[in-house]
Amino acid sequence: MSEQNKPADKSSQTTPAIAVVALLISLFAAQEIIFKPTRPAMIHTERMSTEDVRSRLWQDPFQAVELYKKQDSVSGKTFHIRSTKENHTQSQPGIFEGLISDTTFNIENKLNRLTCHNEEPPETAAHSITELKCQIYKETEKQNSVHILAVMVPGGPYAEYHEWRLRSRYALISGLHAAGYMPIDPEHIGFVDFRNACQKDKKNSYCDFPDYMPYEWFELNDQLKPISIEELSDKELELLLKNKKEKVLILWLNNDTFAHSSINSLEVLGQLKKEIISNSKIESEISFNIIGPHDSGTLRKMYADMNRIKKESLPDNYLNHSHIFATSVTANDERLIGKTLYQDRGNWLNDKIIRTISPQDKLAHALLCELALRGVTPYRADPNKSISRNCPDLAGAIPARQSNQPHHMVLIGELDTFYSQTLTATILKKIAEFGENQNHQNNNGISEGHIHTFNYLRGLDGITSEHTATSQDSKGKESQANKLNDKEFKKQLERPTETSQLDYLVRLAEQIKHLDKIKASEGGIQAIGITGSDPYDKLLILQALRPKFPEALFFTTDLDARFFHSSEIKWTRNLIVASPFGLQLNDEWQKNTPPFRDNYQTALYFTTLLALHCPHTEGQCSVSTLKEFLKKLQEQPRLFEIGNNNAVDLSHTAGNGIHPEPELASVIKLSDWEKILKISGPLLAIAFLAILLYYSLIQERFKPIIVGVFISITLLLIFYHTVPSLDDSGSEPFASGTSIWPAIGIRFVAAILAGYLLYSIYQQLKENKEAIEKEYISPASVGEDTKKTKSLWAKLNIDRWKMNSKEPIPFKDFWSDYLESRTISCCSVRAILMVILYVGFVVLLIQSGFFDIPKIPFRGEVSSNIHTAILILSIFSYLMLIFIIVDVAHLCSHLIRLLKEHNVKWPANLVNINKSKYSLPQEAVEHKILLDFIHRHTIIINKFIYYPFFILFLVILSRAYYFDNWQITPLLLFVFGFTALIALSSAIRLRIAAQDARKDILQKLDSYSSQLLENRAWYEKGGSSAKLKLLIGEIRDFKEGVFQPLSHHPIVLSVLIPLSSIVGVYLLEYLALFAF
């Protein structure tokens, strides 16, 4: 083997490159930050004041009281309040902490607690209603106005209720802070023990009250700048700024007491208000409002309780001059009020209730409009007519439906909650309004039409309210999970026994999948709605159904930060969420408060601000004024899609001065000169860098790459800033994981690149033609016209090209026939015919039911139409590139076989040059000339095999799940694999033809060498024997171009290009978990 033909050892050259790539990956794939608290355990000490329950501002007030009561019962101590001559309403925080000691003093005799009582004696219990009434009395006696907010939260022991209380307190305190209030004691709360009062006298009204009622005091801080509402809303809301109270008292009420008992909820609330403020010095200085109830079921009970109240008792005895701010009630009025309520009583309660959150019919309306934007219309009416009637803001943005058949939709809801029942019924009602006919359900849960409903019981994980048992079970399960692998542990959890309902969920998923197969001829299940109320159940349902329906549209209500947590994003990505609020308001309202955990926190924060600014007198706080303002918000709920690491706001309307404005890609308009400058800046920077690299590079072969990269980036920037701006329905941010536009942009670049590569193929073949003619055809023959006798069928059918003469045929004749078949027109016609056959083959496969058409995650008519146009362009250019290369390789392979099979007459000057070079007879050097020609001509065609895989790389990259809900379906795997196989087959054919030609040349040279052995004198003369052996060895060991080893051949290396695309896709998805 000659040194020049030895394959170079590239390991030393590639090692630094591999190291650099590994370093870059290690930099991007950063480790997730794990927060490790270092705070030591709390030392339990007692506090000598009425607010003696330790509770940070973010703690659950009910849990704090329960813990206090448990510790108090263990210690066996009962503390009483002893009055002092000083008029103190609150002890200073921490003033007596650490003073308790069993050996130093007696609590009752040695230490006087700071209380509000002036009586000497009596003594009252530390947590009695008398003490709270005394505190309020002292505040009014000091001319301090007091605003009492009774906040109703669920009191259940379940994890979701505990989390609700945590979130409610955080949101409420954040709203108080934004309004200018600070806690008097930020580390303690007090509580009233109604159970104890009930046991002393069971005839009083305390027995109807909650067992205990936590409370805490806040005071106005002049240094805080409250939100100026009049700058954010209509002038009518300036009334809300009047009569701001100096003190705020928060009462935490157990919603369960009012929802699940036989008591009259309105009577209890009225009696509670009466008890608290009855001893006040100036009752006019006290405002009493309610934030609640917690859910729609409780409010429905309040309406039902109205029938049990005497009409003459309404104005005076029940919540006079008070409002009920319903911040988490979503059911529609007709489902709350019912048909049995007296009209006058209903009107009275309606005037009291101020709903600050969008009802379910508005959420259902927004969801159906959004589904229509995405091409899912579960009703028979024409989508455009239906949307123009029901969603006028989106008129003209809905893509045309492919058929008149409605799409199939699944609704999964809770069987045991009023919220889920009403939401499911509301969605069905809205679908009937959007369409022409209302679907009816049969007895097995599957509708006779296209809406299929399924139910489950709330609490799918099977966790009960027994805290101790739950804690032990969780520890046992955790230790068991450590012993078992994930698959085995999953099987244990899904075992059809005990309290866990996961086995029901597994079978439900299989049932829905079976339904999807039955309805496959009608498009299958297009959308799945989760109408439950428990976020934990929603996440479990998504875990069960998302793998089985990766392309379906999933939707639900009520935005929660758990939906885009990194541990859940695999199931929740691209979940559509209709929500009355987002996780924050606009900057003017949100101020310095971080985004909340769910939309109910935002609603409570917003409601707190309204309630605090709303005086207690009807004349100053007009209910009609407030409701008119809130109605505008309720009409336009927010809409979100879960992205890679956050919830993307896709709301159909603007923020109206309350919500943040959606950050859509379509807000960029070229008519705005400031945004044109945003394009010009990056383009100038990229152009400067490209020019610098272009003129600094020594190797000319890299300069076209620099130009190509610059053109591609320029096109992408122009595409990013122009095309999505045509979408009136609003385009999602490009890097959010919810936008179709990155895929369209990448395919647009792929189409342009394919066109450029086709032009590059033409130029390289032209240059190679000139080089071949310069070396292998005599100068006198170059440019001579050759008579074209080949028929059209012969031009189209390459294999029909034959040379019938047995006499030596000049190389020029082969070459001219070859060029005649390789004209642009002939190659294009053959390639177009192959494209038509290929597309027809794929269409037949789809029509025969072998494959389903992949779903496109478009949003709106503009994105759908542009995607279709770019997709057709990219597919056509990709297939044309492949079949042009296949055609050129096929034609070249056929030329090599013809040259191998016939006696070729080479130009005399070329033969003489090689005879002088090798000092061998003409018959021997002619074989070397043929091999050199094969190498010279195939070296460029051999490189063409890379080109389709560059495009395939971009096509696969465009379908990255990182960009949107793109799925690699069996049809796409077949298309990608089949087209890659076609491209590889052309390279394999060319390699086989070249290898066969070399093998034939070696056989002829060996035969020629054997014949010359008889003429030993000539054979040994002048070292001819050694020269012939050297020539044979050089031909045998030639390893360049098409003769390269398979490990270095483009056939193998080209396959790595799409594989690198797949690896890159997974890397993008991995980096998305770390918010890159």
> Could you tell me if residue 1007 is inside a domain?
yes
* Last residue of one domain, picked from the residues 316, 335, 355: 355
Q: Are residues 351 and 382 in the same domain?
A: no
Q: What is the pLDDT of residue 291?
A: 94
Tens of pLDDT, residue by residue over 344-361, are 666 778 888 888 888 999
> Could you tell me if residue 41 is inside a domain?
no
Q: What is the pLDDT of residue 166?
A: 94
Q: Are residues 276 and 170 in the same domain?
A: yes
> Could you tell me if residue 627 is inside a domain?
yes
List the Cα angle 994/1000/1002 in 5-degree steps. Answer: 105
Please state the rounded mean pLDDT for residues 892-907: 87
In this prediction, residue 423 has a pLDDT band, given cuts at 50, 70 and 90, of very high
Q: What is the pLDDT of residue 74?
A: 57
How far from the centroid of its chain's Cα atoms is residue 848's Cα? 34
Does residue 787 have a pLDDT over 90?
Answer: no
Mean pLDDT comparison of 101-105, 709-713, 853-857, 1009-1013, highest-scoring range: 853-857
Q: What is the pLDDT of residue 624?
A: 66
Q: Which of 672, 790, 775 is nearest to 722 (CA)?
A: 672
3-state secondary structure of 717: helix
Q: Are residues 133 and 163 in the same domain?
A: yes
Q: Are residues 868 and 896 in the same domain?
A: yes
Q: Answer left, alpha or beta for residue 234, where phi above 0 means left and psi between -120 and 50 means alpha.
A: beta
Q: Are residues 992 and 1052 in the same domain?
A: yes
Does residue 556 have a pLDDT over 90?
Answer: yes
Name the residue range of residue 853's domain.
741-773+798-1072
Cα–Cα distance list, 866 to 717, 776, 859, 871, 874 (Å): 17, 50, 11, 8, 12
Q: Tell me, what CATH number does 412's domain have?
A: 3.40.50.2300
Give percent of the chain with pLDDT exceeding 90.
Answer: 20
How far from the centroid of its chain's Cα atoms is residue 422's Cα? 28
3-state secondary structure of 326: strand
Please state the rounded mean pLDDT for residues 389-394: 76
Report the distance separating Cα 289 and Cα 146, nearest Å. Answer: 11
Q: Which residue has the tokens 């003017």?
A: 588
Which of the two residues, 535 and 28, has the higher pLDDT score? 535
* Last residue of one domain, picked from the residues 638, 659, 680: 659
Name the packing angle between helices 970-1012 and 946-958 (round to 10°): 170
Structure token digits, residue 1055 = 């396959």
> Could you tell me if residue 28 is inside a domain?
no
Report the distance separating Cα 309 and Cα 482, nearest Å. Answer: 59
> 726, 665 in Cβ contact below 8 A?
no
Could you give the dihedral angle defined by the CA atoms of residues 1040, 1043, 1046 and 1048, in that order, rounded to the nearest 10 degrees? Answer: 10
Q: What is the pLDDT of residue 817?
A: 85
Q: Are residues 225 and 209 in the same domain?
A: yes
Q: Are residues 653 and 759 in the same domain?
A: no
Mean pLDDT comparison of 365-379, 704-718, 797-811, highest-scoring range: 365-379
Report the distance separating Cα 1058 and Cα 505, nearest Å. Answer: 38
Q: What is the pLDDT of residue 40?
A: 53
Name the packing angle between helices 861-901 and 922-943 (round to 10°): 170
Q: Are residues 419 and 276 in the same domain?
A: no
Report the distance separating Cα 161 and Cα 259, nearest Å. Answer: 15
- CB burial of residue 714 (10 Å; 0-12, 13-18, 19+): middle
Please state the rounded mean pLDDT for residues 964-969: 84
Number of structural domains (the chain) is 3
Question: How many residues belong to the chain?
Answer: 1076
Q: What is the pLDDT of residue 311?
A: 60
* Last residue of one domain, picked from the residues 299, 323, 355: 355
Q: Are residues 215 and 364 in the same domain?
A: no
Tens of pLDDT, residue by residue over 632-668, are 777 788 999 999 888 998 887 776 678 887 766 444 4
Q: Are residues 536 and 516 in the same domain?
A: yes
> 549, 517 in Cβ contact below 8 A?
no
In 169-229 the beta strands, taken as DSSP E runs, fall at 181-183, 188-193, 212-220
Tens of pLDDT, residue by residue over 189-247, are 989 888 877 776 655 667 778 888 999 999 988 666 555 444 444 444 444 444 567 88
- How many other CB atoms are there within 10 angstroms of residue 500's CB atom? 18
Q: What is the pLDDT of residue 803?
A: 67
In 336-426 the beta strands, taken as DSSP E runs, fall at 353-355, 408-414
Task: Using a cut of 0.85, tell me whether the model's pTM lies above it.
Answer: no
Name the packing angle between helices 159-178 and 599-613 (round to 10°): 40
Residues 6+ apart with CB under 8 A from 448: 439, 440, 441, 442
Q: Are residues 377 and 349 in the same domain?
A: no
Tens of pLDDT, residue by residue over 974-1001, are 888 888 888 888 888 888 888 888 898 8
Please state the rounded mean pLDDT for residues 117-123: 44
| Residues β-bridged to residue 182 | 219
Report the distance separating Cα 691 and Cα 732, nearest Å. Answer: 34
> Could you tell me if residue 165 is inside a domain?
yes
> Could you tell me if residue 27 is inside a domain?
no
Tens of pLDDT, residue by residue over 1030-1056, are 888 888 888 887 777 766 666 666 666
> Could you tell me if residue 682 is inside a domain?
no
Q: Average pLDDT over the chain, rounded to whole?
A: 76
Q: Which of 999, 866, 990, 1014 is nearest to 940 (CA)?
A: 990
Q: Are residues 322 and 393 in the same domain?
A: no
> Could you tell me if residue 341 is inside a domain?
yes
In this prediction, residue 699 has a pLDDT band, given cuts at 50, 70 and 90, of low
